[in-house]
Amino acid sequence: MSDRYAVIGNPIAHSRSPFIHARFAAQTGQDLVYDRLLAPLDGFAAAVQAFVESGGCGLNVTVPFKEQAFALAGRRSPRVEAAGAANTLSFDSNGWTAENTDGIGLVRDLTARHGVALAGQRVVVLGAGGAASGVVLPLLEAGVRDVLIVNRTAARAVALASRLAGGAGPQTAVVGRGLDGLDAESAAGALLINATSAGLSDARLPIADEVFAAAAFAYDMVYGARPTAFLAQAAALGCPRQADGLGMLVEQAAESFRLWRGVAPQTDPVYRQLRDEIGRA
């Protein structure tokens, strides 16, 4: 029987992970099946347990269960500990192991696909939820100079920054503020990363025009057939470069696949296929 994997979330019908992992498996000759698993909002642990008992080998975890995956796992990587959230679970006779591949996915997409040099780079992260929590430590490990976390709820940004500041070197600052604390000066030359879910509803973030004009690169973790509201705003206001999160999606999946199967798939062909698919949808 093929090894079984799945992505678990609620909702889950929209997930592209089965498409991505099926292509990784075909490309690398791995014998596995990968499904979608809809868990009740109050039934994440029971759904994971049932999956494990039926022989499941690993799960990707998406909204809104990443924090629960962190809490339930017996073993956690340092990235999971830093993020307080996990997107990848592996099961073996020793129990559940949690990893967070979102940050590695973002870093690889930025550096390998978009040619962004992260060493010494100033970064502004918009948002302080699960996605923002997962990417800050890998960005610090990639050598960014400082990270400003800004969030609608300022207290969450401040709390996240103080939790993650320990992962920063002596020359690197991690600071948290409310969205109104973001100005052109703090965004000057920065990589501006939208890790809020505002883009899912096409809502515009209350950010001054000068911020976009001052930034060097605008990145939205959300993706779609058209540029998101955030990226359209960035382009219109003079930010020289923009990218959406489709590449991050493929790269974080590739890292989960590598952890589970011990083989790293090629991501570019799958990224291009997915971009075509989304464009046609």
Residue written as tokens 């464009």?
A: 279
Taking the least distance from each CB to ligand NAP, the nearer of 110 and 221 is 221
Residue written as tokens 């690889």?
A: 108
Q: How far apart are CA 281 and CA 274, in angstroms?
A: 10
- Tokens of residue 3, six digits: 């090894």
Handedness of CA 108, 247, 97, 70 (dihedral sign): positive
Active site residues: 66
Q: How far apart are CA 174 and CA 227, in angstroms?
A: 29
Residue 137 binding ligand NAP, by CB under 6 A: no
Residue 129 binding ligand NAP, by CB under 6 A: yes
Q: How far apart are CA 119 and CA 262, in angstroms?
A: 28
Annotate each residue in 211-230 with x if it binds ligand NAP (CB under 6 A) or - if it does not, as one string.
----------xx--------
- For residue 233, the surrounding DSSP H or E stretch is helix 229-236
Taking the least distance from each CB to ligand NAP, the nearer of 49 and 186 is 186
- Tokens of residue 30, six digits: 């791995």
Stretch that binds ligand NAP, among 2-10, 195-203, 211-219, 254-262 (CB under 6 A): 195-203
Annotate each residue in 90-109 with x if it binds ligand NAP (CB under 6 A) or - if it does not, as one string.
------------x--x----
Taking the least distance from each CB to ligand NAP, the nearer of 120 and 269 is 269
Taking the least distance from each CB to ligand NAP, the nearer of 130 and 265 is 130
Give the burial class of 217: count Cβ atoms within 10 A of its Cβ; 0-12 exposed, 13-18 middle, 19 or more buried. Answer: buried
- List contacts with ligand NAP (CB under 6 A): 63, 102, 105, 127-132, 151-153, 156, 195-198, 200, 203, 205, 221-222, 245, 248-249, 252
